[in-house]
C-alpha cells in the first residue's frame, strides 16, 4: 500500500523530468517555426482551396501567378514576374550574410474534369487542342504552391535569424515539361544563383506526415518518337505487290521489346511503350501508311543516348528487311531528375529530426518525369515526396478523383523551412 502511494507521487515527477529532458532537444528555431506554422495554417488552407477551385492549364497560370506575386510582395520580398511565361521569383535576403538556396513549386493544373465531390472542387473549363476540357489540380500543384507561400511567410518572419538568401521559384508548366527550362532560359538565375535547390511533390501512396526520399535518380528521362512506315498501297488479296506497313509497324514494335530484353543490361531500367498505332481503312486494302508513337524512359545521359541509337538501328533494320520507306522523328524530352546524394542525406536527417525516423522513408526511382531536373543541372538538387494521400482514398495523381490531404501543408512548410535553414549553414 505504502509502495503504491509512493509511485503515485513519483509518477508526475517522473513525467515532469521527462518533459524537461525532451524539451531542450527541440531546437528553439524549430519551435518558433512550429508556432508560426500553427498560426498561419488556417489561412493557407483557405488559400489552397481558392487555388484548387481556380486551376489553370500550363502556361496559362495568370491568376495563380498574380496571387503568388501579391503574397510575396506583401511579405516584403523582392519579386520578379513573367519569367519564362508566368513564372515568379521572390528573393528573401536574411539578416546575416551567407549562401543562396532555393525552393521551387509548380503552379499548373491538368485538362481533367474533377470528380472529387469536394465543396471547393473545380468547375473551370478551358479549350485545349480545339476541344473543351475540364481543368483540375489533379497533381497536387495547388498544395506545392501553398507550401511555397507558407515557407516564404515563415522565413520572412525569421528574416533576422537567417544567414544567407532564399529564392522562391513559382514555376509554370511542369506538366508537359516546358516551364523549368523556359524560366532558366529566360534568365531566372542571371542575378543570383542558388548553391542548392529543393522541391516537393505530393505523394499519392503515403499519408500526411510521411516524407519519401530517393538518393540519386528520382525520375526518368522522358523521350519519345513518332514513326511513319510508308507504302504504295495495294489489294489485300495480293499483299506481295506492296509493302504492308501494318506488318512492318508490328515487327518494329516487337523488335523493340526484344531489343530491351536482349541488348539492354537488366540493371539499367529502360521502358519503351508504343502507346499509339494507327493504320488502315478497310480489311481488303493494304494501308498506305502506319503511324506509331512511343515513349522511351531511361536514367542518365549515357543510357539515354545508347537506347536511342539502338531504337534507330532496330527501326532501320526492320524497315530495310521489308523494303519499307519510313520517317522517324525522335524527340528528347525532360531529362531525368537527379537527387544529389549528399544533399538528400542532409534533407533526410532534417526531416527525421522533425517527423521521427519512422516517418521518413527511402523510396525508389520512378519512371515518370519531372522537369525539376533542369534545376538539378544548375545546382545540386533534391526533390522530396510529401505524403498527401487522403484517408480511405486510392486515387492516384492525374486521376479525376485525386485530391491531396491538406494535412500535408503544415508538414511540408515545417520540413522545408528546416531543410532550407540547414542548407544555409553549409558552405556553397
Ligand atoms: Zn503531374
Ligand atoms: Zn506534378
Q: Are residues 81 and 177 in the same domain?
A: yes
User: How far apart are the CA of 55 and the centre of ligand 2, in A?
Assistant: 13
Q: Rounded to the nearest whole angstrom, what is the distance from the C-alpha of residue 173 to the centroid of ligand 2?
A: 10
3-state secondary structure of 313: helix
Instruction: Tell me the C-alpha distance between 177 and 333, whole Å.
Output: 8
84 falls within a domain: yes
Active site residue 108: yes
CATH assignment at residue 418: 3.40.630.10
Active site residue 174: yes
* Candidate list 106, 174, 203, 340, residue with the active-site label: 174
Q: How far apart are CA 89 and CA 81, in angstroms?
A: 7
* DSSP H helices in 188-332: 245-263, 301-322
CA-CA distance, 318 to 314, in Å (whole number)? 6
Burial state string for 236-262 with b = 16 or more CB within 10 A and e = fewer than 16: eeeeeebbbbbbbbbbbbeebeebbee
Which of 334, 369, 402 corresponds to the end of one domain? 334
Of 334, 353, 369, which residue is a domain's last? 334
Residues 213 and 230 in one domain: no
Decide if 8 is inside a domain: no
Per the domain annotation, does 140 fall within a domain?
yes
The pLDDT of residue 129 is: 83
Q: Is residue 5 part of a domain?
A: no
User: Domain for residue 1, yes or no?
Assistant: no
In angstroms, the CA 83 to CA 90 distance is 11
User: 187 and 134 in one domain?
Assistant: yes
Asked whether residue 55 falls in the same domain as residue 146, the answer is yes
Active-site hit among 56, 106, 108, 204: 108
Q: Which ligand minimizes its atom distance to the CA of 398?
A: 1
The reply to whether 210 falls in a domain is yes
- Dump pLDDT digits (tens) for 25-39: 678 889 999 999 999
Which run of H or of E encompasses 142?
helix 141-157
pLDDT of residue 3: 45
CA 213 to CA 100: how far, in whole Å?
Answer: 22
Ligand 2 centroid distance, CA of 141 (Å): 6
Domain that holds residue 391: 27-219+337-424
pLDDT of amino acid 27: 80
Three cell numbers at 8?
A: 503515485
Structural domain tally of the chain?
2
- How many whole angstroms from 117 Cα to the centroid of ligand 2? 21
State the ligand closest to the CA atom of 404. Answer: 2
Q: Are residues 210 and 86 in the same domain?
A: yes
| Per-residue pLDDT, 306 | 98
Same domain assignment for residues 53 and 38? yes
Q: What is the pLDDT of residues 343-400, one digit of tens each?
A: 999 999 999 999 999 999 999 999 999 999 999 999 999 999 999 999 999 999 999 9
Q: Are residues 363 and 244 in the same domain?
A: no
Q: How far apart are CA 70 and CA 47, in angstroms?
A: 13
Q: How many residues does the chain have?
A: 428
Ligand 1 centroid distance, CA of 316 (Å): 34
Q: Does residue 344 sit in the same domain as residue 321? A: no
Three-state SS for 389-407 is: ECCCCCCCCCCCCCCCCCC
Q: Tell me the pairing of strands 234-235 and 216-217.
A: unpaired
Q: Which ligand is nearest to the Cα of residue 107, counting in written order?
A: 2
Cα separation, 149 vs 156, in Å, equals 10
Using CB atoms within 10 Å of the CB of residue 169, give its burial: 0 to 12 exposed, 13 to 18 middle, 19+ buried.
Answer: buried
Q: What are phi and psi of 227, to 5 degrees?
A: -125, 130
176 and 82 in a single domain? The answer is: yes
125 with 262, same domain: the answer is no
Spacing, Cα 139 to ligand 1 middle (Å): 5
**Protein residues near ligand 2, an ion, with CB under 5 A:** 139
Distance 112 CA to ligand 1 centre (A): 11
Cα separation, 147 vs 409, whole angstroms: 6
In-domain check, residue 187: yes
Question: What are the b/e assignments for 289-324, b being 16+ CB within 10 Å?
Answer: bbbbbbbbbbbbeebbebbbebbeebbeebbeebeb
CATH value at residue 233: 3.30.70.360
What is the structure's pLDDT at 25?
61
Clarify whether residues 133 and 180 are in a common domain: yes
Give the residue from 280, 315, 334 where a domain finishes. Answer: 334
Within-domain flag for 7: no
Pick the ligand that lies closest to the CA of residue 399: 1
Whether 144 and 264 map to the same domain: the answer is no
pLDDT tens for the chain, residues 1 to 428: 444 554 555 555 555 544 444 444 678 889 999 999 999 999 999 999 999 999 999 999 999 999 999 999 999 999 999 999 999 999 999 999 999 999 999 999 999 999 999 999 999 999 988 899 999 999 999 999 999 999 999 999 999 999 999 999 999 999 989 999 999 999 999 999 999 999 999 999 999 999 999 999 999 999 999 999 999 999 999 999 999 999 999 999 999 999 999 999 999 999 999 999 999 999 999 999 999 999 999 999 999 999 999 999 999 999 999 999 999 999 999 999 999 999 999 999 999 999 999 999 999 999 999 999 999 999 999 999 999 999 999 999 999 999 999 999 999 999 999 999 999 998 66
Amino acid at each position: 500500500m505504502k509502495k503504491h502511494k509512493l509511485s503515485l507521487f513519483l509518477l508526475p515527477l517522473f513525467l515532469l523530468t521527462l518533459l524537461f529532458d525532451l524539451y531542450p532537444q527541440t531546437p528553439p528555431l524549430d519551435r518558433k517555426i512550429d508556432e508560426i506554422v500553427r498560426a498561419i495554417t488556417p489561412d493557407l488552407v483557405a488559400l489552397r482551396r481558392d487555388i484548387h477551385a481556380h486551376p489553370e492549364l500550363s502556361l496559362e497560370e495568370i491568376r495563380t501567378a498574380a496571387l503568388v506575386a501579391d503574397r510575396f510582395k506583401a511579405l516584403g520580398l523582392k519579386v520578379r514576374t513573367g519569367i519564362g511565361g508566368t513564372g515568379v521569383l521572390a528573393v528573401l535576403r536574411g539578416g546575416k550574410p551567407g549562401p543562396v538556396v532555393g525552393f521551387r513549386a509548380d503552379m499548373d493544373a491538368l485538362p481533367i474534369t474533377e470528380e472529387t465531390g469536394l465543396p471547393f472542387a473545380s468547375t473551370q473549363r478551358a479549350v485545349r487542342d480545339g476541344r473543351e476540357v475540364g481543368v483540375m489540380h489533379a497533381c497536387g500543384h495547388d498544395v506545392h504552391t501553398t507550401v511555397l507561400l507558407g515557407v516564404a511567410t515563415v522565413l520572412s518572419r525569421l528574416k533576422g535569424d537567417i544567414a544567407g538568401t532564399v529564392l522562391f521559384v513559382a514555376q509554370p508548366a511542369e506538366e508537359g515539361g516546358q516551364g523549368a527550362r523556359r524560366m532558366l532560359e529566360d534568365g531566372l538565375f542571371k542575378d543570383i544563383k542558388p548553391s542548392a535547390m529543393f522541391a516537393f511533390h505530393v505523394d499519392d501512396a503515403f499519408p500526411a506526415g510521411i516524407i519519401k526520399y530517393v538518393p540519386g535518380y528520382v525520375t526518368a528521362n522522358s523521350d519519345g518518337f513518332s514513326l511513319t512506315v510508308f507504302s504504295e498501297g495495294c489489294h489485300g488479296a495480293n499483299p506481295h505487290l506492296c509493302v504492308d506497313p501494318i506488318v512492318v509497324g508490328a515487327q518494329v514494335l516487337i523488335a523493340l521489346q526484344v531489343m530491351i530484353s536482349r541488348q539492354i543490361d537488366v540493371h539499367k531500367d529502360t521502358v519503351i511503350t508504343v502507346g499509339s498505332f494507327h493504320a488502315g481503312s478497310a480489311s481488303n486494302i493494304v494501308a498506305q501508311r502506319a503511324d506509331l508513337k512511343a515513349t522511351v524512359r531511361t536514367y542518365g545521359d549515357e543510357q539515354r543516348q545508347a537506347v536511342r541509337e539502338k531504337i534507330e538501328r532496330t527501326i532501320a533494320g526492320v524497315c530495310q528487311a521489308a523494303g519499307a520507306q519510313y520517317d522517324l522523328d525522335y524527340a528528347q524530352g525532360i531529362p531525368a531528375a537527379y537527387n544529389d546524394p549528399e544533399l538528400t542525406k542532409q534533407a533526410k536527417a532534417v526531416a527525421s529530426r522533425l517527423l521521427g525516423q519512422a516517418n521518413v522513408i527511402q523510396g525508389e526511382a520512378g519512371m515518370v518525369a519531372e522537369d525539376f531536373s533542369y534545376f538539378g543541372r544548375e545546382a545540386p538538387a533534391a526533390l522530396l515526396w510529401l505524403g498527401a494521400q487522403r484517408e480511405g482514398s486510392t486515387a492516384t495523381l492525374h486521376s479525376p478523383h485525386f485530391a491531396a490531404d491538406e494535412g500535408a501543408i503544415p508538414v511540408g512548410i515545417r520540413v522545408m523551412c528546416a531543410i532550407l535553414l540547414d542548407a544555409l549553414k553549409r558552405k556553397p
